[in-house]
Structure 1
Amino acid sequence: MARKISLLLLLAGSVLLLTGCFNINEPIRAESDGIWDPYFVYPLSWLMTTIAEALGNSYGLAIIIVTILLRILILPLMIKQTKSTKAMQALQPEMQKLREKYSAKDQQTQQKLQQETMALFQQHNVNPLAGCLPIFIQMPILIGFYHAIIRTPEINPPIDPAAGGVPQTFLWFELSSADPYYILPLIAGATTYIQQKMMMVTDNPQMKMMLYLMPIMIMAFAAFFPSALALYWVIGNLFMIVQTYFITGPNVGKDKEPQPKTGGAKNK
């Protein structure tokens, strides 16, 4: 679990680093060269612009539609992640027995615990790192989406009034600016919490820390990043909540309550 937290912090830092490693002041064009612009940024910008024009220049609706399309694109990976989480949840009683059996903190005992744990994963065909793969897949999409928002003139018009362009608004906020009322960041944080709660495997302290750390990080990012990106997070979270509900049922996170009854000395 500590590794997952470290991975999350590393990925969050990578987002901040990578957003500053490219020329975000240059509008995206079809003629943009390299690998990043033509294969990641421009397709997302073109897709948003095309959908928005078909919807009467509603870039807010275009972002919602593109977000849903992206989520559908990575849906097989997310389903795999959800099933992996459920499989890990089912193994919690057995893992707890191993932790109790090898409770000593010396290096030899801890190595034995790791070996037994990995053997348990292999026996039940569970990959504990399967939940990390969708995060890696989403990173270039998220960063590309951020650049597409920043570098699409229709969404983020030039500051110079002489250059033309009007900021695009959706509901109560401008897409190119942070939400002045912090409503969208709060919704992003709340939906992230619900999603994490539905996916939570166990009640150990590290998992609970993750449950609160992730929403706080999302709220912090959404409070300063363009509202268009916060809108992406909100819609993506809602998609994940619905997906998790239909895959695992409404009682996800509660299945672990009756499982301790199978523990103890008796083991089938």
Structure 2
Amino acid sequence: MKRFENILKRIGPLPIILAIIALAIIIVASLTFKGHVASNSFWSAIVAAFTSSILGTSAWFGNNYGLGIIVFTILIRFLILPLMVYQIQSMMKMQVVQPALKALQAKYPGKDTESRQLMMAEQQALYKKEGVNPFASMLPLIVQMPVLFALYQSIYNSPVLKSGKFLWLQLGSHDPYYVLPVLAAVFTFASSWLSMQSTPEQNGMTKAMPYIFPVVIFFSAMAVPSALSLYWVVGNLFQTIQTFFLQNPFKIRRERELAAQKERDMKRKIKKAKRSAKR
């Protein structure tokens, strides 16, 4: 219970309030939908809830299903915002403890079972002391994957969504002009690049990820219906803005440079004091 309270304290009240409001709107949209979406299993009930929520939201905009998907996407992003805040905070804490982790790896090379066990034990103690959860980065992905699958099935199981139109798009078909795949890739790159800029130490794989993910998203968006591509575009745009405000790399870099400068100044003062003492 105390650990849960600490997590809530770290996240702060605003993301939780926004998530509750988003959930309430999603439920209201689903309940106010006048049609019926069939379901005969637990998973189909989730898909039906998504479908009715999208259709209910679309009805607020004169049955504009594209706008319905956009609003639904924003609501989903607000719903998982507490998880995203927790993930970003955990990632930033992981960056702080990286020097200590490297020291442990040097202390315990892991060439035998005893060495590996000691290193794991000290790592866990370090994580506990610093309040770091190394698996926090998986939480938003775990939550979003069912959302993607449910949305995908909602499109195919709903003739209305499948035949719906938005701007030049047929929501159940691919984007004929590849605008959405390009935008999805651009916003994926923007959010990944911003996130990587705040990482103090980067290896080859870390540096390559902002360029690999957009390519994967681009070809994936080409292969799925426009409705799902629209979800990716809006979701990744939201994440880009979210990353800038929650993980502003320019602010973080300035803070690190100031901290490093203070440390250098302190070392110079200590050296100067030692020289003066010797005289």
TM-score range, shorter chain: 0.7 to 0.9
Q: TM-score, normalised by structure 2?
A: 0.71
Structure 2 CA distance, aligned partners of 1:173 and 1:253?
A: 40
Structure 1 CA distance, aligned partners of 2:260 and 2:100?
A: 10
**Letter of the 1:106 counterpart:** K
Unaligned runs of 5+ in 1: 1-27, 158-167
**Letter of the 1:212 counterpart:** Y
User: Do the aligned partners of residues 219 and 72 (structure 1) sit closer, same or farther apart at CA in structure 2, a change above 3 Å counting?
Assistant: same
**Letter of the 1:76 counterpart:** P
For residues 212-234 of structure 1, the C-alpha deviation after alignment (integer angstroms, 9 at most, x for no partner) is 33222222211100111111111
Percent identity over paired residues = 37
Superposition pairs of residues 92-107 of structure 1, within 5 angstroms: 92-102=98-108, 104=109, 106-107=111-112
Structure 2 CA distance, aligned partners of 1:209 and 1:256?
A: 25
SS at match of 2:162: coil
User: Do the aligned partners of residues 186 and 75 (structure 1) sit closer, same or farther apart at CA in structure 2, a change above 3 Å counting?
Assistant: same
For residues 196-242 of structure 1, the C-alpha deviation after alignment (integer angstroms, 9 at most, x for no partner) is 22233341223234333322222221110011111111111111222
Pairwise CA distance, 1:192: 1.3
Structure 2 CA distance, aligned partners of 1:132 and 1:180?
A: 34
Structure 2 CA distance, aligned partners of 1:112 and 1:209?
A: 32
Aligned equivalent of 2:65: 59
Which protein has the bigger helix share? 2
Superposition pairs of residues 201-212 of structure 1, within 5 angstroms: 201=199, 202-212=201-211
Pairwise CA distance, 1:94: 2.7
Q: TM-score, normalised by structure 1?
A: 0.73
Aligned equivalent of 1:118: 124
Asked if the contact 1:198–1:253 (Cα under 8 Å) also holds between the matched residues in 2, the reply is no
Aligned equivalent of 2:92: 86
Asked if the contact 2:221–2:228 (Cα under 8 Å) also holds between the matched residues in 1, the reply is yes
For residues 70-128 of structure 1, the C-alpha deviation after alignment (integer angstroms, 9 at most, x for no partner) is 111111111111111111122233333334445x4624555544443333222201001
For residues 11-63 of structure 1, the C-alpha deviation after alignment (integer angstroms, 9 at most, x for no partner) is xxxxxxxxxxxxxxxxx95332111112x111111121122222122111110
Structure 2 CA distance, aligned partners of 1:172 and 1:111?
A: 59
Asked if the contact 2:184–2:233 (Cα under 8 Å) also holds between the matched residues in 1, the reply is yes
Structure 2 CA distance, aligned partners of 1:112 and 1:64?
A: 50
Pick the aligned partner of 1:169 from 157, 165, 169: 165
Aligned equivalent of 1:184: 180
Over aligned residues, Cα RMSD in angstroms?
2.8
For residues 176-202 of structure 1, the C-alpha deviation after alignment (integer angstroms, 9 at most, x for no partner) is 111122221121112112222223334
Q: Which gives a bigger RCO, structure 1 or 2 (Cα 8 Å, sep 6+)?
A: 1
Structure 2 CA distance, aligned partners of 1:246 and 1:146?
A: 30
Unaligned runs of 5+ in 2: 1-34, 268-279
**Letter of the 1:46 counterpart:** S
Of structures 1 and 2, the larger Rg is shown by 2
User: Do the aligned partners of residues 210 and 112 (structure 1) sit closer, same or farther apart at CA in structure 2, a change above 3 Å counting?
Assistant: farther
User: Do the aligned partners of residues 252 and 118 (structure 1) sit closer, same or farther apart at CA in structure 2, a change above 3 Å counting?
Assistant: farther
